[in-house]
Structures are given as C-alpha cells and as structure tokens.
Amino acid sequence: MSESQSILKLYGTDRSTCCQRVKVVAYEKELDLSLEAVDMMGKEHKQDAYLAKQPFGQIPYLDDNGFTLFQSRAICRYIAMKYPNQGTKLLPDASDIKAVSIFEQAINIEQADFDPNASGLTMQKLFLPKRGGKTDEEQLKKHVDGLRMKLDGFERILSKHKYLSGDEISLADLFALPYGTKVEICYPDFFHDSSRPNVRRWWDAISNLIMNLDYQNLLRDLDPVQCTLAPPNRDNCTI
Amino acid sequence: MSTTIKLYGAKQSTCSQTVKVVAYEKGLNVDIIPCNFAVAEHKSAAWLEIQPFGQVPYLDEDGFKLYESRAMSRYLATKYADQGTQLLPDLTDLKAMALADQFMSVEASNFYPYTSGIAKEAIFAPMFGGKTNPEALEKHRSDLKAKLEGFERIFAKQDYLGGKEVGLADLYCLSMGVLAEKVFSDIFDDPAKPNVAR
C-alpha cells in the first residue's frame, strides 16, 4: 500500500464486473481504492448529476481529486500509468515503441476477441436468470462456440509467450479476469480444454494471482461470508 | 521520406479502411496487398502464424508485424507523431492520454458493437449468402440510437472525441459509421441530437 497515492474514488457497485476490473488492477498496483456506492435501484446513474460525469449512465467512473474518468479499461490504464513504480509492472516501457504496439495489440485482443463472447455468455447463462429473465439458448450457443473459436487464436498466441503481450503479465491479461471468472462459473472446464494447454496454463497463472480469498470471492460474485451466489442485483448495469 | 507500409487485407474490409484513413491523415504511403479469400488464405498456417485469429488485416513495416486495426492505427499515430494530423495527445501527458483512452474505449464499447451489428445484418449477411434478421437489425438500431444520447452529451461539451481536434477515436468511428448510415440514412441526423449531427 502506498502512502503517497492520491485518494482514488471509484463510483459503482461491489459486484459490477467493470468495477471488479478496476479493483483487480488496483490490487496488483497496491493502491487503495475507495468504492463509492451508486444507488442503481434508485436510478442514480440515470440522473443528470451522474450523467455529467458518465454520459452513458453506466458504472463505474473514477474521481481522482476532481479529475473524472470513465470506461473501466481507461481507468485501469490511468492508474497503471500514474503509479508505474509500485506493485506489479503492468505497462511496457513507453520508449519501446514495438513493445508498446504489441501491448496495444494484446489490449485490443482482449476487448475485441474475448470480451464480446465472454460477456454475452455471462449475460445469457448467469445474469439473465439471476434477474428473473430467460436464457436465449441460441444466443448462448453462439457465444460459447464463438469464444471457443477465439480461444484457438489465444492458444496460438500463448504457445509463443507466457502472456498476451509477451513473457510478462500486463493489463491485457488482467482485463480478461472478471468475465473469464464468470465464464468459469458457468462452465468450470472452459479454460481447461486439453486441446488448448497454453490457454490452460495462462488462465491458471492469472486466476491464481488473486490469492486473497476476498478478491477471489468477489470476482466469482460470491458472498465472502456465506460463499454462495449473492442475491440478484436486478438493476446491475454491467457494461 | 517514409517507408512504405504494407497492409495485408482487403480494400473493402472496414478494418483495413480504418488503418488506411489513419495512414492518410499521417501522410503515409500504404500498399494494400489483397488477401486471397478464394483460397481462404487468411486461414492458412502461414497467415495464422502472423494473425492467430485468421482475420484481416495485418500490417508489415520493414518486417515488424502487427494486427488489430486499432493497435495498428495507434502504432502509426505514435511512431509518426510529428507528421500529418496529430491524432494522439503528448504521450507523457497523463490526463490527456487518459481521456484519449477513455474515448477510444467509448468507440469500442458504445459505438462499434451496434454499427457493426447493423452492417453485419443489413449488408454483410446478404452479401455472403445469408439473410438479414430484422429483429436483430432493429435491436442494433435502437441500441445505437440510445447510445447516441451519450454521444450527444459528450459533443455538447467538446467538438470531437479527441477534444478540440479530431483524434484516433473519431477516426475509428468512420468505417462502420459510414456503413450504418448507408443502412439508416438519418441515424446520425436526428434533430434531437444536433451535436452528434454536427
């Protein structure tokens, strides 16, 4: 924990996947993050005061001494860039343009080739039923098959180096954790397919980072005390 | 004099077009080397060695290879920061870079899924022998319309996603945005959203 960090306030909810993404990165950077609860049930995120900070009415946004920022991946990049010398190194050296570009490539791989199917699958299989809705089996299959196909690409990448952007872990790997963890709740062996040994190795490495039980439970959407699925949050705006 | 950048892709691929637009703004020469789709070149072992998802395009500049259109674009904007249009802020300006990252992420999560969904249903599906799903198309259209309310709030405060000037995030919107407009000609021209229209 750093004594010299500014007060970082994250406006969101405990169980929002995008808030978890920021929390994971803050944890790796040994930063204190103050979670400010947004009253989703009371539609606080749709009020003008909130829309002035986050124009899409989504969570989370960050307030760093009056500097506000939204989009969880941008928030993560900001705190990693602001505190490069503490915690785990999660960004390449800015002066190495090739390393930076391979890093950007990995960042895009997570956002374009992992997130859409991982989040779609999670919505159909986990979130919708929890909120009293119905799984669209066709959509679910599309996301499951789609993610499997993309993991073939991941297998090719991870056969060449340990993590998505090289042999060191980076933000790109951590960005996959929150939805990846939820995919694993839905399908426990999803990342342990024998045809993709490198995906398995990578997934075990990044999911084992969060050794702190509270964080493991948080990412798995479990109540840390009872270790069961938490009651549904019907207005969970997880984008 | 700049080196010639080789882009292995397709003239009509929206991702290739994004890289071309960025290269154009930076005053760079780009050679498009067409992928031979007829023989599924993009699924060949040689291609997969370079682009592991079997997609187009990828870039080759003097042997340095890169894929993902936004990563390629950012590479060009960074490497050639001093020529052509400035598309990124000073890389050492923490807050300016954070805002640039914010709006590039906005494009990827709050624009592209819906514009590409529209293009996929209305343009690409029929083009490749499939059928438009009218329900899916309408959902993409109404989702995009709702997201544009967020963009309206942004553009009420600033001229571009890049701030006072065009930035990478604005250029990223172009290739799929243009296709969405071909399908729904008034999608960006809603009188309720004058700043989006502007």
pLDDT band at A226 (very low <50, low <70, confident <90, very high): very low
Q: Which of B79, B92, B113 sits opposite A97 (nearest CB)?
A: B79
Question: Is the Cβ of A36 closer than 8 Å to some Cβ of chain B?
Answer: no
Q: What value does the mean pLDDT take over residues B93-120?
A: 97
Where does the pLDDT of residue A220 fall: very low under 50, low under 70, confident under 90, or very high at 90 and above? low
Confidence of residue A146 (pLDDT cuts 50, 70, 90): very high
Q: Measured on CA atoms in the order B58, B61, B66, B70, is the torsion positive or negative?
A: negative
Say whether B108 and A51 touch across the interface (CB within 8 A): no
Q: What confidence score (pLDDT) does residue A231 get?
A: 32
Whether residues B52 and A154 touch (CB distance < 8 A) is answered with yes
Flag if A69 and B99 touch (Cβ within 8 Å).
Answer: yes
Contact B108 A111 (CB under 8 A): yes
Nearest 5°: phi and psi at B60? -135, 110
Q: Which residues of A touch B91 (CB under 8 A)?
A: 94
Its pTM stands at 0.92
Choose among A57, A67, A105: nearest Cβ to B66: A105
In the prediction, which pLDDT does A131 show?
85
Q: Any CB–CB contact under 8 A between A93 and chain B?
A: no
φ/ψ of A160, rounded to 5, equals: -100, -30
Are B151 and A55 within 8 A, CB to CB? yes
Contact with chain A for residue B70, Cβ under 8 A: yes
The reply to whether A78 touches chain B by the CB within 8 Å rule is: yes
| A50 and B CB contact within 8 Å | no
For B41-96, how does the pLDDT look when each residue is reduced to its tens digit (9 = 90+)? 999 999 999 999 999 999 999 999 999 999 999 999 999 999 999 999 999 999 99
Q: What is the pLDDT of residue B174?
A: 95
Strands B64-67 and A33-37: unpaired
pLDDT of residue A5: 85
CB contact under 8 A, A108 and B68: yes
CB proximity under 8 Å: B 98-127 to A:
98-99, 101-102, 104-106, 108-110, 113
Q: Does A55 sit within 8 Å of B150, measured CB to CB?
A: yes
Q: What is the pLDDT of residue B11?
A: 86
Q: Is the pLDDT of residue A110 over 60?
A: yes
* Mean pLDDT, range B96-111, rounded to an integer: 97
Higher-scoring residue by pLDDT: A135, A208: A135
Which pLDDT band, with edges at 50, 70 and 90, does A235 fall under? very low
Dist. CA A86–CA A32, nearest whole Å: 12
Interface test with A, best of B75, B79, B133 (most A CBs within 10 A): B75
Residue A25: count other Cβ atoms within 10 Å of its Cβ: 26
pLDDT of residue A3: 52
* Contact list, A109 vs chain B (CB under 8 Å): 53, 68
Q: Secondary structure of chain B in the HEC alphabet?
A: CCCCEEEEECCCCHHHHHHHHHHHHCCCCEEEEECCHHHCHHHCHHHHHHCCCCCCCEEEECCEEEECHHHHHHHHHHHCCCCCCCCCCCCCCHHHHHHHHHHHHHHHHHCHHHHHHHHHHHHHHHHCCCCCCHHHHHHHHHHHHHHHHHHHHHHHHCCECCECCCCHHHHHHHHHHHHHHHHCCCCCCCCCCHHHHC
Beta carbon pairs, A and B, within 8 Å: 85
pLDDT per position as a tens digit, A36-65: 999 999 999 999 999 999 999 999 999 999
B153 at A interface, C-beta within 8 A: yes
Taking CB atoms within 8 Å and a gap of at least 24, the contacts of A48-53 are A51/B153, A53/A11
Residue B38 pairs in a beta bridge with none
User: Is the model's pLDDT at B176 over the cut of 80?
Assistant: yes
Q: Are strands A33-37 and A8-12 parallel, antiparallel or unpaired?
A: parallel
